[in-house]
Amino acid sequence: MSNRKPYVREMTRTWWKDHPFYRFYMVREATVLPLIFFTIFLTFGLGCLVKGPEAWAGWLAFMSNPIVVVLNILALAGSVFHAQTFFSMMPQVMPIQIKGKKLGKKVIVLAQWAAVAAISLFVLVLV
């Protein structure tokens, strides 16, 4: 048995700031924070809707607060950014072949955005 100590590399809390790839990854993952607030606000709103008109009016007043509006705009921007990064990596993760030919990366990404637009339009017309 040897008395040598194993090498333990020090890991600081900000190790990810040293490399652009990891900085981008952390920013992308941080986009979930405004979405958490949006989800909590929406769930609270559903509860107020069940409670009655007075509770619903209170929730609508809360949602018109400028801070909440800014958080909702940040949540929208974060979700669009997250979707864009997800859609852009999809051709590498799941290449699609039709009749032995690979579909172009732009075609796959644009098809995904077209699906998002179609679903959004459908929901907008439905409601």
> How far is residue 15 from each of residues 11, 20, 27, 30, 60, measured CA to CA in Å?
7, 11, 14, 16, 42
User: Do 55 and 85 belong to one domain?
Assistant: yes
Does residue 4 belong to any structural domain of this protein? no
Q: What is the pTM of this model?
A: 0.74
User: Do 57 and 104 belong to one domain?
Assistant: no
Does residue 55 belong to any structural domain of this protein? yes
> How far is residue 23 from each of residues 9, 18, 20, 76, 87, measured CA to CA in Å?
20, 8, 5, 21, 19
What are 98's strand-pairing partners? 101
Does residue 7 belong to any structural domain of this protein? no
8 three-class SS: coil
Count up the domains in the chain and report the number.
Answer: 2
User: Do 20 and 82 belong to one domain?
Assistant: yes
Q: Are 82 and 28 in contact (CB under 8 A)?
A: yes
pLDDT in tens, 22-64: 999 998 889 888 889 899 999 999 999 999 999 999 999 999 9
User: Do 30 and 70 belong to one domain?
Assistant: yes
User: What percent of the chain is predicted at pLDDT more than 90?
Assistant: 55
**CATH number of the CATH domain containing 31:** 1.20.1300.10
pLDDT at 100: 87
Q: How many residues does the chain have?
A: 127
User: Do 41 and 17 belong to one domain?
Assistant: yes
User: Do 100 and 89 belong to one domain?
Assistant: no
**What value does the mean pLDDT of the chain take?**
91
User: Do 61 and 107 belong to one domain?
Assistant: no
User: Do 21 and 62 belong to one domain?
Assistant: yes
User: Do 70 and 108 belong to one domain?
Assistant: no
pLDDT at 1: 62
User: Do 110 and 60 belong to one domain?
Assistant: no
Range of the domain at 26: 12-93
Does residue 1 belong to any structural domain of this protein? no
